[in-house]
Amino acid sequence: MRIVFYVLVTAISAGVTYGLAIVIWKLSTKYRLYPKIRERDVHTRPTPRLGGVAMFLGMVVAFVVASQLSNFSIVFTEPGKVLGLAAAALIIVLIGVADDLWDLDWLTKLAGQIIAAGILAWQGIQVSTLPIGGQAIVSPYVSLIITVFAIVLVMNAINFIDGLDGLVAGVALIANSVFFIYTYLLQAQAQTEYFNLASLTTAVLIGACIGFLPLNFHPARLFMGDAGALLTGLLMATSAILVTGQVNSEFATRPDQFTAALVPGFIPILLPLAVLVVPLLDFGLAVTRRLRAGKSPFTADRKHLHHRLLDMGHSHLHAVLIFYGWTLVVSLGCLAYMFLPWYVATLLIAAGLIILTVITLLPLSKRKAREYAAQSTDTDAAADVARYDGLDAASEAEDELSQPKEART
């Protein structure tokens, strides 16, 4: 029952995060530690944005407890990686809190993100191999650049979708739960140790999301802010990088098992992309949109995917649930390749995506129907007015003709 130890650290992370979130919410409300409402914001009342601090402290406590459990002792045999992760997380939280309170410029935030990612790479958390025949990245400089780029990309992708109550926390909870299942299956297949840094990081992040959601779900009393969103992205990227370098997937290159094994062999690459498909899509569209307009890719606007869902006619809650649905279908669909024949998994993904597409576009159909009905009503009304005007004119002509000639003259 080794899974019990992961459940324990997840519960500790959730409990501490929830308790601290309540304290931070009360203190922030009492001392008005919240920014003014911006034009692009969806909420209509000032709301504290320091929930990321509670998440960070909850995860720190969970890591400390794990370090005292003999089962996790193997994780801490490489203290450099754990301390590097802690230092990177602390930098990100400090940068995020400063931005939540004083609104830092994008260049300062980007510099902090690069420093945090560089610390992780310096301590050995970096993309050194690719799960395609166990190919190694020969140049350490290439490895460093890929690692820093991947971590900064994921952090900003997660931060970009942080615009609706419960959105990031819920998406991260779903994505990391699926990713934890994957890492645990790898342990069962003896491809990784049962207790490793990737699984532990994922477990404590799941706990932090669980503990934070009660105060963040619509209508939110507390936001995680940049501190929480960037921290979530940092830990998700770290877990993915750690797992990718551990998996031995040389079976994916065997020609005799090409059809059955090729897709599972790419799971270490596909699954991190799958669980991040919605944030990465929003990030890519935002960067492209802003660069085409001649603006900085980090310039804030109100054209993110969640804004577009609201503009289409979805309610706040429905928009969040749609994001949950897309994340769940894509991530679980990708994981299904490990259990089901590739064609069955593909059919399930296709069916789920079709259903979600219909649900997503449904308000547009309703809007067009209302517009058509209104247009038809206006046309009928205009025709009625014209008809009544014609009848009135004819009636007046008849009245005039029916009068005596003397009266008409």
Better-predicted residue by pLDDT, 276 or 76? 76
Give the separation between CA 156 and CA 407, rounded to whole angstroms.
86
Residue ranges covered by each domain of the chain: 3-300
Mean pLDDT of 306-325: 87
Q: What is the mean pLDDT of residues 69-74?
A: 92
Highest mean pLDDT among 177-191, 208-222, 249-263, 324-338: 208-222
Mind listing the pLDDT tens digit for each residue in 9-60?
A: 999 999 999 999 999 999 999 888 876 665 555 555 778 999 999 999 999 9
What's phi and psi for 129, nearest 5 deg?
-135, 160
Average pLDDT over residues 284-293: 85
Of 65-74, 106-115, 252-261, which range is least confident?
Answer: 252-261
Q: What is the DSSP string of 343-379?
A: HHHHHHHHHHHHHHHHHHHHHHHHHHHHHHHHHHHHH
Q: Which of 72-81, 93-102, 377-386 has the lowest mean pLDDT?
A: 377-386
CA 6 vs CA 69, 204, 234, 245, 380: distances in Å: 11, 8, 20, 22, 67
* 86 touches 60 (CB < 8 A): yes
**Amino acid identity of 181?**
I
Whole-number pLDDT of residue 261: 42
How many CB atoms are located within 10 Å of the residue 266 CB?
A: 18
Instruction: Please report, rounded to a whole number, the percentage of residues in the chain having pLDDT higher than 70.
Output: 76
> What integer best gives the mean pLDDT of the chain?
82
d(CA 361, CA 353): 12
Sign of CA dihedral 184, 216, 60, 244: positive
**191: pLDDT confidence band, cut at 50, 70 and 90?**
low
pLDDT at 321: 93
CB 114 within 8 A of CB 239: no
CA angle 338, 326, 220 (to 5 degrees): 125
Question: pLDDT tens digit string along 140-190?
Answer: 888 899 899 999 999 998 998 888 899 999 999 999 999 999 888 877 665
User: What's the pLDDT at 149?
Assistant: 93
Mean of the pLDDT values across residues 353-361? 91
Residue 190 backbone class (left: φ over 0; alpha: ψ -120 to 50; beta: rest): left
Determine whether 80 is exposed, middle or buried from the number of CB atoms within 10 Å of its CB (0-12, 13-18, 19+).
Answer: exposed
What's the whole-number mean pLDDT along residues 218-227? 91
Weakest-pLDDT range from 55-64, 230-239, 240-249: 240-249
pLDDT in tens, 374-397: 666 655 555 555 555 555 555 555
Q: pLDDT band at 138, cuts 50/70/90?
A: low
Q: What is the pLDDT of residue 387?
A: 58
The Cα–Cα gap between 96 and 51 comes to 11
**Polymer length in residues for the chain:** 409
Identify the pLDDT of residue 260: 40
Look at residues 312, 314, 307, 270 and name the one whose alpha carbon lies nearest to residue 285. Answer: 307
What pLDDT was estimated at residue 267?
A: 62
Give the largest Cα separation in the chain, rounded. 118
State the pLDDT confidence band at 214, using cuts at 50, 70 and 90: very high
* Least trusted range by pLDDT, from 212-216, 257-261, 293-297: 257-261
Cis, bond preceding 255 (omega within 30 deg of 0): no
Q: Which of 92-101, 218-227, 272-281, 330-339 has the lowest mean pLDDT?
A: 272-281
Residue 207, pLDDT above cutoff 80: yes
Q: Tokens representing 322?
A: 């749609």
Tell how far CA 264 is from the center of its chain: 24
